[in-house]
Copies of this chain bind each other. A is one copy, B any other.
Amino acid sequence: MTGLRIIDIHDQADERLVDFRDLSDADRRPDTGRGVVIAEGVPVVERMLASRFRPHAVLGVAARLERLAPALDRLGADAPACYRVTADLMARVVGFHLNRGVLAAARRPPTPDAGELLDGARTVVVLEGVNDHENLGAIFRNAAGLGADAVLFGPRCSDPLYRRAVRVSMGHVLLVPFARLGVDGSGWPVDALDTLRARGFRTVALTPGGDTRLQHAADGERVAFLVGAEGPGLTAKTLDAADARAAIPMARGTDSLNVATAAALALYERARG
């Protein structure tokens, strides 16, 4: 295991553990203050190691570090420092008992340009006002599983790299490309949707009040599905600006579906053909 640097740590106050400290607090606020992205558990850390997010540090108990050794070893000299601790010390550093037993921390890389992502994409999901971290995570998990090429952020969305979003996404937020669509919300929605149209995307708003059924709106060479926050949904301006407004056939007397589920159905509709 040439690349692996295992460092045993016995002191809770060791400065090298700074990025893993008091995560229970960090989970209540965006991690942006620290500028790090945290992956939790063997499968998610493995996804981080395979992603554009290159961790600089891994903290874990011996058994979990062993399971990660092959993936870490493949990185050779680029492998992060691996801090080996007891479960008890880990709990004291992190602030709670973390039964996933391993964490990795990476710096945030620059967010790619939306244009670049769109060039190679056939199916994208565009978010407006999706401000719930669990929904964001679930959207990325569904995007990965059902073959979306990218997720694009309109205004008023939460941070997809927040710890809870990374966890709920099962790490797929690290792998599915994403970008901001429009810089400060000023060109939203008209200019942003024009950007998509200029690249051949049909913009399809998902809305319970849509006048087209989803199965008639999901085909085409390039499609962008627009979804809004659970509850309010997409704004009237965005509904107006889209090329089509598609409804999922719903049983009578029910609310709309969860936003991540609606996105999953749209992606499935496109993938099933």
Contacts and interface: CB of A to CB of B under 8 A. Distances in A.
Interface of A: 43, 138, 141-142, 144-147, 170, 172, 213-215, 248-251, 254-258, 260-261, 264-265, 268-269, 271-272
Contacts of A268: 248-249, 265, 268-269
A248 B215 CA distance: 17
B271 A249 contact: yes
Contacts of A256: 145
A147 B251 CA distance: 5
A261 B261 CA distance: 6
Secondary structure of the A side of the interface?
helix
A254 B176 CA distance: 11
Nearest to A171: B255
The copy count of this chain in the complex is 2
A64 to B, nearest CB: 17
B214 A254 contact: no
Contacts of A251: 144-147, 271
Nearest to A248: B268
A250 B142 CA distance: 10
Nearest to A148: B251
Contact of A257 (B142, B214, B249, B272): B142
A250 B146 contact: yes
A138 B258 contact: yes
Contacts of A142: 257, 261
A264 to B, nearest CB: 5
Nearest to A268: B265
A255 B146 contact: no
Contacts of A250: 145-147
19 contacts: A138-B258, A142-B257, A144-B251, A144-B254, A145-B251, A145-B255, A145-B257, A146-B251, A147-B251, A172-B254, A215-B272, A251-B271, A257-B264, A261-B261, A261-B264, A264-B264, A264-B265, A265-B265, A265-B268
Contacts of A258: 138, 141
Contacts of A254: 144-145, 172
Nearest to A50: B253
Given A144-B254, A264-B261, A272 B214 contact: yes
Contacts of A141: 255, 257-258
Contact of A255 (B170, B255, B257, B271): B170
A77 to B, nearest CB: 26
Given A147-B251, A170-B255, 6 more contacts: A138-B258, A146-B248, A146-B250, A146-B257, A215-B272, A268-B269
